[in-house]
Structure 1
Amino acid sequence: MKENKKVYQHIEDDLHKWPIYEISKNRSSFIERLVNHTYRKLHHKYNNDFEDVLEKTIYQERIRIKRKPWRVDPPNEEAFWNRMKVRLGKAKRFKSKKKLREFERRSVYRIIQRYSDEIVGSFVPKTFLFARKFLTGLFNILLGENLLKKFWKIWGRKDHLHNALKVYGDIDKVRSLARKGTVILLPTHFSNLDSILIGYVLDTKVGIPAFSYGAGLNLYNFGPAAYFMNRLGAYRVDRRKKNPIYLETLKAMSTLSIKSGVNNLFFPGGTRSRSGKSEEQFKLGLMNTIIEAQRDICLEGKEQNIYIIPLILDYHFVLEAKSLIRQHLTIEGKQKYTSIKDLGKSKRKIFKFLWEFYSKSSEIVCSFGEPMDFIGNSIDDEGRSIDRHGKVITISDYFSTHDKIGADVQRESEYTKILAEKVIERFKRDNVILSSHMIAYLAFEIFHQYFPSIDVYGLLRMPLSDFYIPKHYFLDKMDDFKRLLMGMEDDGALRLSSIFECSSDVILEDGIEKIGLYHSRTPLRMTSDDFLVSDDLELLYYYHNRISMYQFKNIFTTKDQRLLQNILQEEE
């Protein structure tokens, strides 16, 4: 698929007209709506009996404060929950059941207010404009071209940066839908950079008003990060809190934000991929708020559509890759995995890292998937939902029983699962394979062919000296693999970056140059005598995993196995 190189004008230049600013401007009013909406949901869910949910919430919160205190926690946090416990104990002595129920209702309402005030962020246009300029500098540093020669230009220069931030997909349609309704972006998640990267691309290349997104409350422990996120439309998510009142408030925040016309972004996988693979299982809680919002819109008789757009991020390097893959191997491998101690970084390696950081360039791909409605139906150019036969669908019919629109928890749960399946499918089909993905996958698979009876954990324990692949053989296999990938692209199973229009030699050179660019130990490199070797098999495995979801078959034949065994014997 061809890269979309166009840089679009903003569909709305005035930040004060963005829906996210409207919510921020009327923050107190929005919080009041959020509190009332959450209370009604809990009232219906627990049939106005809050005794158990209140006790559970107070208990869990007091445990959280003792075991996992954070600097960002309010100074009166412990006192508040201790006071709630004491008051609940006294209330249970009421002779009147009615008085006890009234106390429980007021307590739940008060807790919702506290959570709502914590969750809802704000959006300050001046801070957004500053962040726009600051991020231009940051991404120029990460992706810029030989900045040692022109460091002073990083804060304003965008031409090379726009070339390095590559966009694929039907952006004209995405922009059109952003004018017609509310856009929900569901991205893959690999790095802590993802949120700011997506926000920057949407703002400077795609030209869409800012998205609301959930930011982990732990990030607010760092003062500068807290300052900016508090003012850039992020709402706070405290993953320590698992009690039903908090979770319902968080879901209500998403639902009301969507209903208010604010574009939303959330990572359906919930957290960064530890293995390097894109998500194949989703957290369905927040995704369900999409369904709830669309149902409420239909109930209110509004003509407001919600559009789902999968977004697949592709990196040649992930800064946190080493720690992520070790976490994955520790969890999945258990006793099979033995972490090899990092021998540290020599002064030469540190200098090498700094030199490459400032002197080399890379690229990041944002691939926008096929837009869909709340249940995964296709969207036509007019923003209407259509079935597989091209027939226009009436959205409200999905929420109707005997011609009456209403909530149905079981039905909407199934809708959420259907949507998740459709998004996972688009994560595969709209993924753009980079040169580094190809060579990492092929190199690790060839290494596995050397020792076919050894599992992954055994391979990772092998001496690095056992990893060597002759360049001529690797290029032959690249030709075969490239033909396979191009055939899959023709079938719509994946997307290929523009580098695949070049020869295998060029693809290999590009991949070697960019794979794991900023790691002190190189996942894959070429020796002077034309052998591919690895300085870090764990990193190579991480980057290999990026396209392992396709489960490629018939890459190797019996002839390959004989050739590889001959290579092993020759080296021995």
Structure 2
Amino acid sequence: MLGSLIQAQRLLVEKNSTRKIVIVPVVLTYESVLEARSLIIQHLTTTGQERFTARAKKAGFGSYYKFLFRVLKNKSHIHLTFGRPMDVFGNHLDENANSLDHKSHIVQLKDYFSTNGQFLKDDQREMIYTRELGERIADAYRMYNYVLPTHLVAYAGFVLLSKMNPQHDVYSLVQLPEEEYFLPSKSIENLCAQLQMILFQKSEAGLIIHPKELEGTIEDVIEIGLQNLGVYHLKRILTKDTYGRYFSEDFLGLLYYANRLQNLDLQNEIDWTSIHWEADRF
């Protein structure tokens, strides 16, 4: 599809048209996704093959009652983020739709299709343009990925679960028995506080869009995240028991929501010396 945009722009340039194809990156962010479990199962089955086998789970009447209560009580929001417009070569545009290079100089699109001053169709060159455009769109996705409290707490929970079980890869982690694991409360809260600070720093550096929903005390952010996480699921993605311990009823769902932050490479910026992750296992 991206290659078609390059071809279409070439045809416009060939006809001396001033029309320009503009790409506007748009990122949809959901607090809760109804198909989360089935989507992550499909992904793990495709990538893991024989390393992953989904476990069938039966839900009792009580689970359906609690699910219905959560749906009626809580609201789930959708956030729509528009990125900076670009042309088919990944150049940003000014207010007059002029294409700008990395030094903010105006560039002419016809130059991308010319060799030694002559207009020339070059399929190999256009394949390179298509790959570069895909990379720019992927960069825009990372930058305009709007982080919500649900993503923060899910990422903290799954990363901590991974640290507690270093011998397991992601395919075996999600197949562990959820009822046997509790996540230390202080570790989750410390980790969430660090992640909150790291994300704000990335925002100030212009690497990501400002995560406004993460503003406030970390206690409030965690509470909102737990409340909104997995509203549309029978099993709680992450919650607390009466003793204040964090636990998940669905590691697959936990991975799905945690994946929203995987592309930011946050683990390398966490101070793990201040976090205790020995397993609370029963």
* TM-score bin (small chain): over 0.9
Give secondary structure in 1 for the equivalent of 2:26. Answer: strand
Q: How does 1:451-470 map to 2 (within 5 A)?
A: 451-470=165-184
Give secondary structure in 1 for the equivalent of 2:174. Answer: helix
Asked if 1:391 is matched to 2:78, the reply is no
Deviation of 1:548 (Å) = 0.7
Kept after mapping to 1: 8 A contact 2:22/2:88: yes
Alpha-carbon displacement from aligned partner over 1:186-205 (angstroms, at most 9, x marks no partner)? xxxxxxxxxxxxxxxxxxxx
- Max Rg structure: 1
Asked if 1:408 is matched to 2:143, the reply is no
- Please identify runs of 4+ aligned residues in structure 1 that moved more than 4 A: none
Structure 1 residue ranges without an equivalent (≥5): 1-285
Asked if 1:483 is matched to 2:188, the reply is no
Kept after mapping to 1: 8 A contact 2:229/2:238: yes
Deviation of 1:533 (Å) = 0.8
Alpha-carbon displacement from aligned partner over 1:358-380 (angstroms, at most 9, x marks no partner)? 33212111111121111011101
Alpha-carbon displacement from aligned partner over 1:130-152 (angstroms, at most 9, x marks no partner)? xxxxxxxxxxxxxxxxxxxxxxx
Kept after mapping to 1: 8 A contact 2:187/2:277: no
1:340 is aligned, of 55, 80, 94, to 55
Deviation of 1:509 (Å) = 0.8
Q: How does 1:13-162 map to 2 (within 5 A)?
A: none
What is the CA–CA distance in structure 2 between the aligned matches of 1:348 and 1:487, rounded to whole Å?
43
What is the CA–CA distance in structure 2 between the aligned matches of 1:377 and 1:313, rounded to whole Å?
23
Partner in structure 2 of residue 493 of structure 1:
207
TM-score, reference length from structure 1: 0.47
Structure 2 residue ranges without an equivalent (≥5): none
The structure that is helix-richer by fraction is 1
Give secondary structure in 1 for the equivalent of 2:24. Answer: strand
Deviation of 1:448 (Å) = 1.3
Deviation of 1:559 (Å) = 4.8
Partner in structure 2 of residue 309 of structure 1:
24
Give secondary structure in 2 for the equivalent of 1:306. Answer: coil
> What RMSD over aligned residues (CA atoms) do the two structures have, in Å?
1.8
Deviation of 1:424 (Å) = 0.8
Paired AA for residue 301 in structure 1: N
Partner in structure 1 of residue 262 of structure 2:
548
Kept after mapping to 2: 8 A contact 1:299/1:406: no
Kept after mapping to 2: 8 A contact 1:298/1:405: no
What is the CA–CA distance in structure 2 between the aligned matches of 1:554 and 1:419, rounded to whole Å?
29
Deviation of 1:495 (Å) = 2.2
What is the CA–CA distance in structure 2 between the aligned matches of 1:309 and 1:419, rounded to whole Å?
12
1:321 is aligned, of 28, 36, 58, to 36
2:272 is aligned, of 519, 542, 557, to 557
What is the CA–CA distance in structure 2 between the aligned matches of 1:454 and 1:398, rounded to whole Å?
48
Deviation of 1:464 (Å) = 1.4
Partner in structure 1 of residue 247 of structure 2:
533
Alpha-carbon displacement from aligned partner over 1:408-459 (angstroms, at most 9, x marks no partner)? 2111111111111111111111111111111101111111111222222232
Paired AA for residue 470 in structure 1: P
Count of aligned pairs: 281
Q: 1:466 to 1:384 in 2, by over 3 A?
A: same
Deviation of 1:474 (Å) = 1.8
What is the CA–CA distance in structure 1 between the aligned matches of 2:176 and 2:61, rounded to whole Å?
27
What is the CA–CA distance in structure 2 between the aligned matches of 1:300 and 1:335, rounded to whole Å?
53
Alpha-carbon displacement from aligned partner over 1:488-526 (angstroms, at most 9, x marks no partner)? 111122224322221101110111011121011111112
Asked if 1:379 is matched to 2:93, the reply is yes
Give secondary structure in 2 for the equivalent of 1:313. Answer: strand
Deviation of 1:556 (Å) = 4.5
Q: 1:539 to 1:398 in 2, by over 3 A?
A: same
What is the CA–CA distance in structure 2 between the aligned matches of 1:451 and 1:481, rounded to whole Å?
21
Deviation of 1:403 (Å) = 3.1
Relative contact order (C-alpha < 8 Å, sep 6+): which is higher?
2
What is the CA–CA distance in structure 2 between the aligned matches of 1:405 and 1:425, rounded to whole Å?
30
TM-score, reference length from structure 2: 0.93
Partner in structure 2 of residue 434 of structure 1:
148
Partner in structure 2 of residue 365 of structure 1:
79
